[in-house]
Amino acid sequence: MDLRADFLVIGSGIAGLRAALSLAEAGEVVILTKSDPGESNTGYAQGGIAAAIGADDSPELHARDTIAAGDGLCVPEAVDRLVHDGPRDVRELLDWGAAFDRDADGRPSLGREAAHSVRRVLHARDATGREITRLLWARVSACARIRLLDDAGATELSIEDGACTGVRFVRGAVDVGTATARRTLLATGGAGQVFRETTNPAVATGDGIAMAARAGARLTDLEFVQFHPTVLNVEGAPRFLLSEALRGEGARLVNEAGEAFMTRDDPAGDLAPRDVVARAIVREVERTGTPVYLTLAHLDADFVTRRFPTIARACAHAGFNLARDRIPVSPAAHYLMGGVATDLDARTSIPGLFAAGEVACTGVHGANRLASNSLLEGLVFGARAAAAMKAAPQPAALMVGELIDVRLPGRASAAVPTAYEVRDLMWRSVGLLRIARGLEAASAQLDAWLAACEAAGGARRCDAELRRTTTLVTVGWFIARAALRRHESRGAHFRADFPARDDLHWSKHVSDVLHT
């Protein structure tokens, strides 16, 4: 199957769908998505989408909170675009009919989440992503100029004379096709599946990062992986996210003895930034040898089940009453701040190739993303990507920061691993608490595994399992290398052997470029 279009969009989350709607104003659009159209991180988003629309809020205040959470590494110009374009782009969603919760006066009801100084999170109860997906998908389906192909996984970028001309893709196990376009947008989302414990669905394997890397695109800040502090921690049950909005509405973290331990670690208590809360939970579990819990028992039970019906159902499924019981929680990999390096218009270092949403790194989140800024990023930078893709000419992005040339490891000295082995290693050695010894051993193991995957045919093969494993190993390999090289702790990147932030040496973004 060979497809041609003016614009090609890979991925059907908020960034891809928002971009496609704008691109269709200027030409024919093809969207490839590797599973069902609604299967994406976007579809599972709970807490909401942040935007400075409240009477007590302003883009400047939103920028200040974003930059504070980003721990000295946010790119100010990117933050500026996010907070200034954000209110307009979110109002557009409301105009299109987004069924966000409303206050009695009819205005959007604004939720509170960690490290936001005011209430600024629009939400559709606790299933905001499902509502945004429904809305965007309805508009995309009604647009004759957009063709969507599901179960179509992009495997490799097509590069001619140094520019991107489209992708190769597989459908099912055998059907290999090409899609060719003047401009290609990577909107393939994050890579939570690289870790054994994650909030992310199965599609989030970092395909866009691996494909871009192999094509020689610049990757940035891959050491910065956000671990959400609170997922349901029940043996055998999925790691279901327990939204930060729960704590925003008054839920407390307590230890086995019922002590609210967060106030010991940070004056912001349960609403401290995510990295702080996640590490505090791990330390409390280590200190006490017993689990940590979320409790909402002091809140009005009717309010809890009305405001959080999806979470209440998931807890009930695991045998807990959200409004009454203590719910055991632990951290899990949630979001990738780093990714394919882009400028403010989503241009990558390869002409013709753009990236937006979680796959991209504009630097907007720095070392640690502020809650509910990711849906906003997908919306704002999806729209900005489309504007740039429609414009001509198309130079490659100009980027700053330190650049490191890397090469694939040499001869295979190990067997191809299982996906579980890769994810388990990443969780144990490249997770929330990192140290040189563990990172070095993990990097050496990933070197051997990557060479073995390459020798077996790697991501270009039709064997779905090998493709998935090769992608996980490739993305894990970049994350481990980046984590090993940053000799400091900042935001979500914590090194037990370098526990302090080191602005003198590390107040910078570091990029990798792969030479094959």
CB of 10 to ligand SIN, least distance (A): 22
**146-149 and 110-111: which strand pairing?**
unpaired
In the list 30, 39, 273, 432, the residue contacting ligand FAD (rule: CB under 6 A) is 39
Binding mask 321-360 for ligand FAD (x = CB under 6 A): --------------x---------------------xxx-
Residue 245, interface with ligand SIN (CB under 6 A)?
yes
Residue 189 near which of ligand FAD, ligand SIN, none (CB within 5-8 Å, type-dependent)? ligand FAD
Residue 295, interface with ligand FAD (CB under 6 A)?
no
∠ CA 379-385-388 to the nearest 5 degrees? 145
CB of 233 to ligand SIN, least distance (A): 15
> Which pairs from 282-291 meet CB under 8 Å and 24+ separation?
282/330, 282/331, 282/432, 282/433, 284/255, 285/330, 288/255, 288/256, 288/257, 290/255, 290/256, 291/233, 291/256, 291/328, 291/329, 291/330
Per the listing, tokens 């490659």 go with 396
Q: How far apart are CA 176 and CA 169, in angstroms?
A: 6
Question: Binders of ligand FAD: how many residues, by CB under 6 A?
Answer: 44
Is 461 among the residues known to form the active site? no
In the list 29, 32, 51, 157, the residue contacting ligand FAD (rule: CB under 6 A) is 32
Residue 48, interface with ligand FAD (CB under 6 A)?
yes
CB of 499 to ligand FAD, least distance (A): 28
Residue 244, interface with ligand SIN (CB under 6 A)?
yes
Distance, CA of 192 to chain centre: 7
Residue 358, interface with ligand SIN (CB under 6 A)?
no
Per the listing, tokens 């632990």 go with 330
Residue 128 near which of ligand SIN, ligand FAD, none (CB within 5-8 Å, type-dependent)? ligand FAD
Q: Which two tokens stand for residue 75?
A: 């790119």
Task: Report whether 509 contacts 73 (CB < 8 A).
Answer: yes
In the list 41, 368, 445, 474, the residue contacting ligand FAD (rule: CB under 6 A) is 41
**402-407 and 510-515: which strand pairing?**
parallel
Q: What is the DSSP string of 121-146?
A: EE-STT-HHHHHHHHHHHHHHT-TTE
Residue 199, interface with ligand FAD (CB under 6 A)?
yes
In the list 165, 188, 348, 374, the residue contacting ligand SIN (rule: CB under 6 A) is 374
Q: What is the spatial order of strands in the sheet that 225-232 belongs to? A: 225-232, 327-336, 292-295, 252-254
425 contact partners, CB below 8 Å, separation of at least 6: 442, 445, 446, 476
Residue 23, interface with ligand FAD (CB under 6 A)?
no
CB of 288 to ligand FAD, least distance (A): 27
Q: How far apart are CA 514 and CA 222, in angstroms?
A: 14
Closest CB to ligand SIN among residues 53, 446:
53
Residue 47, interface with ligand SIN (CB under 6 A)?
yes
CB of 140 to ligand FAD, least distance (A): 12
Q: How far apart are CA 268 and CA 207, in angstroms?
A: 37
User: Using CA atoms in the order 179, 377, 224, 330, what is the torsion angle rounded to 10 degrees?
Assistant: -110
Binding mask 202-231 for ligand FAD (x = CB under 6 A): -xx--x------------------------
In the list 372, 445, 474, 489, the residue contacting ligand SIN (rule: CB under 6 A) is 372
Q: How far apart are CA 242 and CA 260, in angstroms?
A: 18
CB of 514 to ligand SIN, least distance (A): 29
Contact positions with ligand FAD (CB under 6 A) in 249-268: none
Q: Which two tokens stand for residue 277?
A: 């809360």
**The one segment of 37-45, 407-415, 454-462, 480-488 that binds ligand FAD by CB under 6 A:** 37-45
| Bridge partners for 515 per DSSP | 407
Q: What are the start-end ranges of the E strands in 20-91? A: 29-32, 49-50
Residue 191, interface with ligand SIN (CB under 6 A)?
no
Residue 187 near which of ligand SIN, ligand FAD, none (CB within 5-8 Å, type-dependent)? ligand FAD
Closest CB to ligand SIN among residues 372, 471:
372
Q: How far apart are CA 29 and CA 7, in angstroms?
A: 5
Residue of 183, 247, 274, 434 with catalytic role? 274
Contact positions with ligand FAD (CB under 6 A) in 459-488: none
Question: Binders of ligand SIN: how many residues, by CB under 6 A?
Answer: 8
3-state secondary structure of 66: helix
Q: Which two tokens stand for residue 274?
A: 């995510």
Q: Residue with CB nearest ligand SIN?
A: 47
Residue 375, interface with ligand FAD (CB under 6 A)?
yes
Catalytic (active-site) positions: 274
Contacts with ligand SIN by CB under 6 A lie at 46-47, 243-245, 371-372, 374
Contacts with ligand FAD by CB under 6 A lie at 10-16, 32-35, 39-42, 44-49, 128-129, 153-154, 187-190, 199-200, 203-204, 207, 241, 335, 357-359, 372-375, 378
